[in-house]
Amino acid sequence: MEWAETLQNRVDETIWDDLRTVKSTIFRVPKHLRDNDPNAYDPVCISLGPYHRHEERLQAMHNLKWHCLKKFLDHDHEKTLADYLKLMKKLESQARIAYSEDIVDMNSNEFALMLLLDGCFVVWTIVFRTSKEGELEQVQNPIKSTSWALPMVARDMLTLENQLPLFILEHLYDFANFRGHFSISASLAEVAIQFFRIILHGLEMKMPSNTDAHFHHLLHLVHSCVIPPENQDGGKSSNSHHYFSSCMKNLHCYGSKGEENDTNFLELIPTATRLKEFGVHLKRKKNAASILDITFKNGKLEIPHLTVDYNTNKIFRNLIAFEQCNVDVNSHFTLYSLAMNCIIDTATDVVLLQDAGIITNYLGDSMEVA
């Protein structure tokens, strides 16, 4: 009875955290995903947010964050450092609950300063990537003085564990009045999409129909640019989703002699090589609504164009991880990746898709693409 009473006390103390009234949106990548390719989920050159901030290898660019903060302050002398800190403190509680882990090792001031430094770096890099700088910065700033740094930073901005809440970036963008300067009248979302289109040129993105929609972070924003247009609100149900599934099930019939199983039909889709042997004609789909706009009709499989380069693996894996961690986001990209994983198994499959104009291979090695 004494033991039971002790356990009952533990049960009585077990309650949900009343501070978390909304779902988290920035996650640690689960181990079962991370183990497949650990490097795909880690930032390479800069930490953003709390998860990787103490890693020694990412400290080299930390000083750039202070330079970007200084640029913010020099941009509008009416706004002081205290004004920016006050803004971050006001948003601190909302920002903390965006992270799936409690950031207990940072007090209020430390967390607010992190949001300010990291946010200023991201916004300034996205908005003023082509701006002309002074001679010292042209020499000492790796983003300005090298060709490799900016693409690596862009990839780091799209890793799931390296996200900042988008509302932090939007508040800084508006507070600094960037919309009204340097001929910039677009929203931050529009500027960010253009940034990723140019820097990560292999990532084919379509502008969301509503750039004023609520996006959790930059990775969510990019996700909205590669899924079907009617699903850019993050909804679960979808005509495109249903049609895509039907298309894949029809392909599955080419590779299976047994009864169709709705739960594993993706695993039984034939490879491109086998489909060609069955008489299926592979063709690049023009004017596709999205990357998911794969159709199969009258023996013709049409697939939207896909560029495979050194950005592809990391971006694809983080988009999949985002879908798998957030139950409120559809799994279109995961399904697309599973389907393409079936169609492409060997270097021969890659060559067939290249010959059809479906894949542009910037890796060189077809087996590496597979």
**pLDDT number for residue 84:** 97
Task: Examine the fold and report which residue of 225, 260, 295 is the final residue of a domain before the chain moves on.
Answer: 225
Q: Look at residue 366 and tell me whether its pLDDT is greater than 50.
A: yes
Phi, psi of 185 (to 5 degrees): -115, 0
Q: Look up residue 294 and give its amino acid.
A: I
Q: What is the pLDDT of residue 252?
A: 64
- Assess whether 164 and 254 both reside in one domain: no
Condensed to tens digits (0 to 9), the pLDDT of residues 38-76 reads 999 999 999 999 999 999 999 989 999 999 999 999 988
Instruction: Establish if 361 belongs to a structural domain.
Output: yes
| Reported confidence tier of residue 266, pLDDT bands at 50, 70, 90 | low
pLDDT of residue 130: 74
Q: What is the CA radius of gyration of the chain?
A: 23
Q: What pLDDT is recorded for position 53?
A: 95
Q: What angle do CA 252, 232, 88 make, to 5 degrees?
A: 135
120 and 156 co-located in one domain = yes
Average pLDDT on 275-285 reads 94
Give, for 353, the enclosing helix (H) or strand (E). Answer: helix 347-355
Number of domains in the chain: 2
Output the pLDDT for position 59: 92
Gap between the Cα atoms of 280 and 259, Å rounded: 21
Let me know if residue 232 belongs to a domain. no
> For residues 85-101, b (16+ Cβ closer than 10 Å) or e, as one string?
eebbbebeeebbbbbbe
Mean pLDDT value across residues 26-38: 94
Which whole number is the average pLDDT over 303-322?
A: 94
Q: Is 60 exceeded by the pLDDT of residue 242?
A: no
Check: CB of residue 189 under 8 Å from CB of residue 215.
yes
Same domain? 202 vs 243: no
Residue 181's pLDDT is: 62
For residue 142, the model assigns a pLDDT of 87
Does the reported pTM lie above 0.85? yes
- Could you tell me if residue 179 is inside a domain? yes
Cα distance between residue 236 and residue 231, in whole Å: 8
pLDDT above 90 covers what percent of the chain? 60
Statement to judge: residues 196 and 305 lie in one domain? no
Q: Dihedrals φ, ψ of 359, to 5°?
A: -115, 135
Considering the domain architecture, whether residues 243 and 221 belong to the same structural domain is answered as no
Length of the chain equals 370
List beta partners, residue 361: 308
Q: Could you read off the pLDDT of 72-99 as tens digits, one per residue?
A: 999 888 999 999 999 999 999 999 999 9
Residue 135: the pLDDT is: 77
In a domain, 141, yes or no: yes
Mean pLDDT of the chain: 87
Residue 319 binned pLDDT confidence (cut-offs 50, 70, 90): very high
Of 199, 225, 251, at which residue does a domain stop?
225
The reply to whether 234 falls in a domain is: no
Asked whether the predicted pLDDT for residue 173 surpasses 50, the reply is yes
Least confident of 3-12, 251-260, 319-328: 251-260
Instruction: Verify that 108 and 181 share a domain, yes or no.
Output: yes
Is there a single domain that holds both residue 271 and residue 249?
yes
246 confidence band (pLDDT: 50, 70, 90): low
Judge if 186 and 72 occupy the same domain.
yes
Q: Which residue has the tokens 């900042």?
A: 164
For residue 35, pLDDT over 90 is answered with: yes
Does 265 fall in a domain? yes
Q: How many Cβ atoms are within 10 Å of 281's Cβ, its own excluded?
A: 12
Q: Are residues 214 and 318 in the same domain?
A: no
Same-domain pairing of 50 and 86: yes
Q: Which of 156, 191, 225 is the last residue of a domain?
A: 225
Expressed as residue numbers, the domain containing 59 is: 31-225
Residue 300: inside a domain? yes
Determine the average pLDDT of the residues in 336-356. 94
Considering the domain architecture, whether residues 202 and 313 belong to the same structural domain is answered as: no
Asked, for residue 4, whether it belongs to a domain, the answer is no
> Distance (Å, rounded) from C-alpha 150 to C-alpha 45?
10
What is the predicted pLDDT for the residue at 237? Answer: 42
Q: Same domain for 201 and 287?
A: no
DSSP 180: G
- pLDDT 10s digits, 107-156: 999 999 999 999 999 999 999 887 777 778 777 888 888 888 999 999 99
Element (H, E) at 92: helix 81-96
Nearest to 173 by CA among 75, 255, 275, 104: 75
**Is there a contact between 248 and 339 (Cβ–Cβ < 8 Å)?**
yes
Q: Are 359 and 351 in contact (CB under 8 A)?
A: no
* Top-ranked range on mean pLDDT: pick from 141-145, 239-243, 358-362: 358-362
**pLDDT value of position 143:** 87
In percent, the amount of the chain with pLDDT more than 70 equals 86
Span 285-311, average pLDDT: 90
